[in-house]
């Protein structure tokens, strides 16, 4: 299987993750013009599963290092398979809430508040599980990003002042998504031998196998989570599977593309974790908050018409996010 063998390349992979995780929401925004996010989300989940299988049977099954996908899956212990699968379930619950927050509040709020919070809590959780990296730089970066999250929430409240109920709802759902999202990566990381991808410990999984099991956890749990959400939506009228199957091919492919984009980032992030460590790899990947905020502010114009004071808050937020990400990179240097 393909293995990252140096820290700079691991950082490049994490930056690609950042771009992917911060950009998939654009497909929801595109589909959202004519398509409910609950229906979009089915195609998104299918896209994640497809990408994980392609990755496992190609770069995850070639080369001399590590174990091929099928061999690795056959020897994996049930507890490790269960850990990655549980990570998928937790991620799915969090990501459905994030999708709801995007639909209500937009990318420039849902990502910085929800995923920013997931970054802060997730780095702490993953560092406790695998202590790689300089804690001073790592947690300095986390602190800077935490301040950036607060500034973003304040800016959003000022812009949405005329609709305080929707404003509060969007932020609350984003916070719930972020708390849940902070836990999924630790369960996936725990299923792998992060110290040795070349000769993984017996019973542990390679990142390629863990990604497939994780994706299956998302897909299977979606029959419960998303079915409930379709019948009892957070916002809007109830919908059903009939509406999903009435969608045209083009609208379905937008959702699948969103899942593939996210899945590419996830695969590269787990591959990089062997060299960078779970906390740094996860923290940089969740720098997606910055990418999504840039999309939301400059492309989707989600803060259009805001005051000069609000614009200053947003500018300072971006500066803090960038400084925090640089600090996290230095933690592994």
55-103: pLDDT as tens digits: 999 999 998 888 999 999 999 999 999 999 999 999 999 999 988 888 8
DSSP state of 205: B
**Rg for the chain, CA atoms, rounded:** 19
Instruction: Label residue 330 exposed, middle or buried (CB < 10 Å: 0-12, 13-18, 19+).
Output: middle
| Any domain includes 68 | yes
| Any domain includes 203 | yes
Instruction: Label residue 169 exposed, middle or buried (CB < 10 Å: 0-12, 13-18, 19+).
Output: middle
Give the model's pLDDT for residue 100: 87
Give the model's pLDDT for residue 162: 47
Ordered DSSP codes for 70-117: HHHHHH--HHHHHHHHHHHHHHHHHHHHHHHHHHHH-HHHIIIIIIHH
| Any domain includes 141 | yes
Whole-angstrom distance, CA of residue 22 vs CA of residue 12: 15
Owner of token pair 């990418």: 291
Give the model's pLDDT for residue 165: 58
Q: Take residue 196 and report the two structure tokens written for it.
A: 């040795």
Whole-angstrom distance, CA of residue 293 vs CA of residue 290: 5
Half-sphere exposure in the Cβ direction for 298 (13 Å, CA): 9
| Any domain includes 2 | no
Low-confidence ranges of the chain (pLDDT < 50): 162
Give the model's pLDDT for residue 113: 84
Give the rounded percent of residues in the chain with a pLDDT score beyond 70: 97
Answer yes or no: are the C-beta atoms of 123 and 282 closer than 8 Å.
yes
Give the model's pLDDT for residue 300: 87
Answer yes or no: are the C-beta atoms of 119 and 289 closer than 8 Å.
yes
Domain encompassing residue 197:
7-332
Answer yes or no: are the C-beta atoms of 170 and 101 closer than 8 Å.
yes
With residue 319 as reference, give the H or E element that holds it.
Answer: helix 308-332
Answer yes or no: are the C-beta atoms of 243 and 39 closer than 8 Å.
yes
How many structural domains are present in the chain? 1
Whole-angstrom distance, CA of residue 211 vs CA of residue 209: 5
| Any domain includes 42 | yes
| Any domain includes 272 | yes
Give the model's pLDDT for residue 134: 92
What pTM did the predictor assign? Answer: 0.88
| Any domain includes 1 | no
Beta bridge partners of 192: 205
Q: Take residue 230 and report the two structure tokens written for it.
A: 């379709």
């Amino acid at each position: 299987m393909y293995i990252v063998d140096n820290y700079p390349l691991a950082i490049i992979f994490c930056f690609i993750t950042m771009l992917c995780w911060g950009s998939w929401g654009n497909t929801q925004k595109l589909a959202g013009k004519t398509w409910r996010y609950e229906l979009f989300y089915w195609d998104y989940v299918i896209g994640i599963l497809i990408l994980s299988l392609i990755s496992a049977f190609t770069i995850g099954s070639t080369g001399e290092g590590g174990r091929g996908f099928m061999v690795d899956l056959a020897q994996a212990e049930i507890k490790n398979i269960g850990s990655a699968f549980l990570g998928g379930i937790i991620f799915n619950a969090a990501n459905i809430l994030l999708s709801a927050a995007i639909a209500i509040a937009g990318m420039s709020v849902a990502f910085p508040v929800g995923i920013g919070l997931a970054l802060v809590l997730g780095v702490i959780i993953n560092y406790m599980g695998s202590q790689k990296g300089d804690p001073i730089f790592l947690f300095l970066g986390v602190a800077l990003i935490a301040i950036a999250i607060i500034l973003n929430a304040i800016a959003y409240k000022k812009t949405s002042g005329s609709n305080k109920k929707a404003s509060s709802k969007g932020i609350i759902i984003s916070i719930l998504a972020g708390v849940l999202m902070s836990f999924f990566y630790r369960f996936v990381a725990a299923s792998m031998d992060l110290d040795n991808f070349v000769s993984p410990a017996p019973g542990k999984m390679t990142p390629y196998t863990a990604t497939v099991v994780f994706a299956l956890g998302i897909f299977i749990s979606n029959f419960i989570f998303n079915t409930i959400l379709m019948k009892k939506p957070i916002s809007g009228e109830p919908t059903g599977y009939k509406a999903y199957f009435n969608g045209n091919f083009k609208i379905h492919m937008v959702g699948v593309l969103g899942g593939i984009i996210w899945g590419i980032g996830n695969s590269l992030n787990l591959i990089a974790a062997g060299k960078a460590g779970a906390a740094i790899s996860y923290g940089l990947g969740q720098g997606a908050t910055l990418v999504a905020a840039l999309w939301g502010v400059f492309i989707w114009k989600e803060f259009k018409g805001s005051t000069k004071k609000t614009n200053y808050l947003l500018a300072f937020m971006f500066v803090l996010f960038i400084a925090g990400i640089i600090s996290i990179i230095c933690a592994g240097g």
